[in-house]
Amino acid sequence: QVQLVESGGGLVQPGGSLRLSCAASGFTLDHYDIGWFRQAPGKEREGVSCISSRDGTTYYADAAKGRFTISRDNAKNTVYLQMNSLKPEDTAVYYCSTDLSCYSSGYGLWGNPTWGQGTQVTVSS
């Protein structure tokens, strides 16, 4: 079965860190660009970061720059999002997707991506 499974979310205090994982099964991630997205209550889903399969080019939304780092471990078929200096406004459900092309200036979604269950990140004191 082809699927992506997000994990690593949780409750963290402002200023804390979390590392999210996006594990693939049924296919090899290293052939795909990967993106992390998030959706806060009452808001539209937004792109956070992505990494290309071609040369490792990365993109970060302004809200993520300097605090988040995306990486991929092809041996583990997993992509990570290291999130540091978390803020309450980072609270959201985080999703990963391969239905995109990633560039240093942004990303382009392919049609209507299929989303997994996501992982909840809550930043609160």
In order of 18, 19, 61, 91, 93, the CA distances from 87 in angstroms are: 12, 14, 15, 8, 14
User: Which residue is listed with tokens 């609160």?
Assistant: 124
- pLDDT tens digit string along 59-104? 999 999 999 999 999 899 999 999 999 999 999 999 999 999 999 9
What pLDDT is attached to residue 8? 98
pLDDT higher than threshold 90 for residue 111: no
**CA proximity to 92, closest of 124, 122, 49:** 122
What pLDDT is attached to residue 2? 80
What pLDDT is attached to residue 113? 85
What one-character-per-residue DSSP string does 65-112 give?
TTTEEEEEETTTTEEEEEE-S--GGG-EEEEEESSEEEETTEEEE-SS
Structure tokens of 123? Answer: 């930043």
User: What is the pLDDT averaged over residues 42-59?
Assistant: 96
